Amino acid sequence: MMAVLVFTDQVCGRTDHRPLREGQKAPGIAAPNLTSHVTSATKGAQKDYARLKWSQLSTHEKAKFSPGSDLKDSFSTCWSHLQQEEEEVLERLCSDLSVGKEPRAVLFYKEEGNKRFGRKQYTAAAVLYSKGISHGIPGTEELALCFANRSAVLFHLGHYSACLEDIDRAQENGYPQRLLSKILQRQESCLQKLKQCDTSNTKSHKTERNQEKVTENPLLPNASRSLKLKFSTSKGRHLVASEDIAQGELLICEEAYVTVIIPDRETFTKKSTWDLSVSLCDLYCHHCLQRAAAPIPCPHCSIAKYCTSQCMDQAWSYYHCIECSLGGLLLNFGVFCHTALRTILLTGFRQVSEVLSHETSDPVQAPIHPYPGDYRSIFSLLSHSGHHKGEHLFLCALTSAALCKKLDIGRLSSMGTAPPTDESMSLQDNVQILGSAVLLHLLQLHCNAQAVTVLHDEKYEGKYY
């Protein structure tokens, strides 16, 4: 099963129940249990080390993690405790992960793909060639050969446009002159096939989906007019029905603020032999989440894959230029930490800083003006920090501090998301802002994230290979 973690400020879905009228109590909504995705990355040595550090805190320091404590104080306490020892622990945690390019893997997956191609198992061959391509170093003959071999598979599968793109990539990466006639002949065959068919049937990686429209709500973007935003001290912000709602009526339809594909950490664990199993994470674009018939890998790591060069360029510009070098660390810290960081990167440090500087202790009440569907909506979600045990809050704060330690805040300037230029703000101030925001989003995600799952297709199960 492949899952995507979605961070949004509203809950979207359909109703199959009679609507609640204003003043009625709403039944509890069970959120998907996502903690398993976090514990898989934080169990063992990482949690044991956090418990050890927690036991070494003084009573005064532990009070910084008590219910109702200021998250800025919690982060500052953990930041002040980070030393060389912690950095060495982080290095050890990442040492068993392989997230970079591995030339030996290119040869392995190419040979395995050739075997499936010989058996006419074209789909399996394409996936294995793609795994090899994800490990290829740009400009090498091995990568060029992998692209060329995948183009042959795509031709047999009828993905002619994707086949042409792979032929171009093979040539761009130094395809051997002695073999050039093979792909040029395939290129000509593709062009002939495309003339014979409707080109709309060949666009395998970008399909338009007809979206049902919701009746416009002037106060709630992307929500039905049947809904009203209310506020109470006991429930906080919540939605109620303002009119009768028909069964199956679409109530909310909105883009997620941030999404992260939940990776299979074991896939990136160093092994003596390469794994033939294929995760669905290998088959979907890590930026737009569309199915990718011929994924394009990040040029620098073996994790991120995209359906088009446009998605790859956008991902690099928005967030991956920072995340790429942190691949092993993010795998260890878990998908919540990854999502929290990406939320900040997509928003931009300047805007995060501005919102934090205007932070108030009062909860956001039902607004008279239209409800903002931006970062302010995300920021104002409850973290429920008062309901977390001190040790768990310490673990989250320690994770935030460790992440900030590895982040080069100055590098954010290359994305146009650098901290605001203010002589009164020191580097320590900027670290405080970044770390507090990561910690806040980590806690928010425990009760506001949504998991979207896709069932495994049998032909992609390990036994298929």
Dump pLDDT digits (tens) for 167-207.
Answer: 999 999 999 999 999 999 999 999 999 988 754 454 444 44
**What torsion do the CA atoms of 132, 133, 138, 139 make, to the nearest 10 degrees?**
80
pLDDT of residue 368: 46
State what percent of residues in the chain have pLDDT above 70. 75
Q: Kindly tell me if the per-residue pLDDT of 19 is higher than 50.
A: no
Average pLDDT over residues 53-62: 87
pLDDT of residue 393: 92
Q: What band does 285 get if pLDDT is binned at 50, 70 and 90?
A: very high
Residue 202's CB is within 10 A of a number of other CB atoms, namely 18
What single-letter DSSP state applies at residue 20? Answer: P
Q: Which of 327, 325, 295 is nearest to 312 (CA)?
A: 295
pLDDT of residue 268: 80
pLDDT of residue 30: 28
Distance, CA of 304 to CA of 330 (rounded, Å): 13
Distance, CA of 421 to CA of 226 (rounded, Å): 45
Higher pLDDT, 225 or 408: 225
Higher pLDDT, 11 or 420: 420
Largest interatomic CA distance in the chain: 77
Mean pLDDT, the chain, integer = 79
Higher pLDDT, 271 or 442: 442
Q: Kindly tell me if the per-residue pLDDT of 43 is higher than 90.
A: no
pLDDT of residue 208: 45
Q: Which of 41, 62, 40, 60 is nearest to 51 (CA)?
A: 62
pLDDT of residue 262: 87
Distance, CA of 127 to CA of 121 (rounded, Å): 10
Q: What band does 94 get if pLDDT is binned at 50, 70 and 90?
A: confident
Mean pLDDT is lowest, of 32-41, 181-190, 267-276, 277-286, for 32-41
Residue 77 corresponds to which tokens in the numbers above? Answer: 């306490």
Architecture of domain 103-202: Alpha Horseshoe (1.25)
Query: What pTM was computed for the model?
Result: 0.81
Task: Please give the distance of CA 281 from its chain centroid, rounded to a whole number.
Answer: 11
Distance, CA of 272 to CA of 267 (rounded, Å): 13
pLDDT of residue 121: 96
pLDDT of residue 5: 63
Query: If you search the block for the tokens 């690099």, which residue do you land on?
Result: 316
Q: Which of 96, 85, 92 is nearest to 46 (CA)?
A: 92
Distance, CA of 72 to CA of 57 (rounded, Å): 17
Dump pLDDT digits (tens) for 115-165.
Answer: 999 999 999 999 999 999 999 999 999 999 999 999 999 999 999 999 999
pLDDT of residue 204: 46
Strands 305-306 and 449-454: unpaired
CB 159 within 8 A of CB 167: no
Pick the most confident of 168-172, 202-206, 263-267, 452-456: 168-172
Distance, CA of 283 to CA of 278 (rounded, Å): 9
What single-letter DSSP state applies at residue 318? Answer: I
What single-letter DSSP state applies at residue 229? Answer: E
Residue 457 corresponds to which tokens in the numbers above? Answer: 């297709």
Dump pLDDT digits (tens) for 316-363.
Answer: 999 999 999 998 889 888 899 999 999 999 998 888 988 888 765 444
Distance, CA of 413 to CA of 425 (rounded, Å): 16
pLDDT of residue 445: 92
Dump pLDDT digits (tens) for 378-407.
Answer: 888 888 888 888 899 999 999 999 999 888
Mean pLDDT is lowest, of 23-37, 153-167, 424-438, for 23-37
Distance, CA of 37 to CA of 40 (rounded, Å): 6
Q: What band does 410 get if pLDDT is binned at 50, 70 and 90?
A: low
Q: Is 30 helix (H, G, I), strand (E, B) or coil?
A: coil
pLDDT of residue 17: 32
Q: Kindly tell me if the per-residue pLDDT of 11 is higher than 50.
A: no
Higher pLDDT, 212 or 94: 94
Q: What band does 465 get if pLDDT is binned at 50, 70 and 90?
A: very low
Distance, CA of 444 to CA of 378 (rounded, Å): 9
φ, ψ for residue 454, nearest 5 deg: -125, 130
Strands 449-454 and 2-7: antiparallel
pLDDT of residue 4: 61
Q: What band does 373 get if pLDDT is binned at 50, 70 and 90?
A: low
Distance, CA of 303 to CA of 135 (rounded, Å): 9
Query: If you search the block for the tokens 């299979």, which residue do you land on?
Result: 264
Higher pLDDT, 231 or 84: 231
Higher pLDDT, 202 or 34: 202
Q: What band does 376 get if pLDDT is binned at 50, 70 and 90?
A: confident
What single-letter DSSP state applies at residue 78? Answer: H
pLDDT of residue 8: 61
Residue 23 Rama label (left phi>0; alpha psi -120 to 50; beta):
left
Domain ranges of the chain: 1-12+33-101+253-465, 103-202
CB 278 within 8 A of CB 460: yes
| Partners of 230 in the β-ladder | 238
| Partners of 14 in the β-ladder | 250
Q: What band does 24 get if pLDDT is binned at 50, 70 and 90?
A: very low
CB 250 within 8 A of CB 14: yes
